[in-house]
Structures are given as structure tokens and as C-alpha cells.
Amino acid sequence: MGSYKYFEEYDEQVTEELKGNFSKILKGIGEDVTREGIVKTPERAAKAMQFLTSGHCEDPAEILRSAMFAEDYHDMVVIKDIELYSLCEHHILPFFGKAHIAYIPNGHIVGLSKIPRIVDVFARRLQVQERLTHDILECINDTLKPEGVAVVIEASHMCMMMRGVQKQNSVTTTSGFRGQFEKIETRTEFLKLISSSLS
């Protein structure tokens, strides 16, 4: 009977350093780091932290440039309900939700999968939702140079839900608009599209 194998590549030196730090944290909160359920936790946490912050090692603008195509299309392109998961830089607790993004091409379109990819790149950093919204907006605006770009993010924050005010049903919404989306009629069309079901 074969054994299960799962392979992920991590920097061994960084993993060992983080592993030691997580072990100290566990001891500091009174855990027995030799018990069966905890013994591998420092290594797992070290690898998880590297994955969850791996966006620092990627260039989101280059991701967009790798799939830009000349196209004479000047109507709104909307990608909505893009799942996102990030870590709040204040407490290193998760926040998660959805991003809704639109742009109006100005000579170039981009492969649709690249928009969610750059959401992941920026989300896989220690973040605040406001900066995450701004980073995505400016990356698309600066790289594609569209006639307009819009970003709306709706997210729930575990730092509000698990600790602090403990408001489990709270949702934070942030938005940013450039170019044509600064016009009320274009912005209204976008907001209507992301709030409606077309199915």
C-alpha cells in the first residue's frame, strides 16, 4: 500500500527560522510543543506563513503585461465575485471576501484570468483592505492604461469578528475609481452590474 505524498517547495533556511519562532510562540502561550497534535505545528505554520505572504515575491504588473492583447474594444469589462483571502497586518488575522473589478479598454485587453491573479498577488501580503483596493486599482490603471478602472472589495475581518468588538456579521466595503468611472453614469452602471444576478 503506497503512502500519501504532497510536495511544496519552500526556502529551507526561512522555514527553519520561522519554525523556531513559531515554536517559541507556542511555548509562550503555554503549549506543550512535544505533544502529538502540536509537534509538527511550527513547521506547518512556517510553510503556511510563507505561502500566505508569497505575493511579495511576484510582480503583478508583469502578470498583466504577459497577457495583454491589442483589441479595438471600448466597452466595460467586468469580473465580479473574485474570492480573496488576506492577512490583516495589524493582528495577522485573516480577512476574506470578494473583489469586483471593471475596466474600459483603450487599445488593449488582458486575459481574464490575469485579473484574479493580481488580486491574489496583492492579497498574499500583510495588508489592510484600503491599501489592497488601491494597489489593485493602480496596478491595472498604470499597466493597461485603460479609459477607466473600478475596484470594489467587500470583506469580513476576523480581527473584528473573533476579538475586539466581536461583530460577527460586519462587512467592510472599499472602492476606488479612475478615468471614466469617475463619471456618475459609468460608475452607476458598474455598481448595478456587480449587485445584480445575470443568471
In tens, the pLDDT along 79-89 reads 999 999 999 99
- As a residue count, the chain comes to 199
Q: In degrees rounded to 5, what are phi and psi of residue 20?
A: -65, -40
Cβ pair 86, 132 in contact under 8 A: yes
Scan for cell 472599499, then name that residue.
174
What percentage of the chain has pLDDT greater than the value 70?
Answer: 92
Give the chain's domains with CATH numbers: 12-52 (1.10.286.10), 66-195 (3.30.1130.10)
What's the pTM value of the predicted model, to 2 decimals?
Answer: 0.90
The answer on pLDDT for 5 being more than 80 is: no
The answer on pLDDT for 6 being more than 70 is: no
Which residues are catalytically annotated? 88-91, 129, 157, 159
